[in-house]
Amino acid sequence: MLVLNWLLLILLLWFSLLGFVVFMLVLAMTGNGTKKAAALMARQAFIFERSHRIEQVISDFCGP
């Protein structure tokens, strides 16, 4: 069960990062997305930090 939880967390982070990269490429192609890109990067950093905290809670709950 613990392995399944970690696998799901890794998949969630991977697809989050992949979606972020694709969206940044789309913004770069449109050319007028500088402010949007900065806001998105800040939002993505917040989401990554929150997912890292969730990972910490899971590891603290499950123990070593």
Q: Domain map of the chain by residue range?
A: 13-62
Provide the pLDDT confidence category of residue 64 given band limits of 50, 70 and 90: low
pLDDT for 48: 76
pLDDT for 33: 62
Cα distance between residue 56 and residue 30, in whole Å: 38
Kindly report, residue by residue over 16-55, the tens digit of the pLDDT: 777 777 777 777 766 666 667 777 777 877 777 777 777 7
Count helices and strands (H / E) in the chain. Answer: 2, 0
Provide the pLDDT confidence category of residue 6 given band limits of 50, 70 and 90: confident
Which positions ≥6 away from 43 have C-beta within 8 Å? none
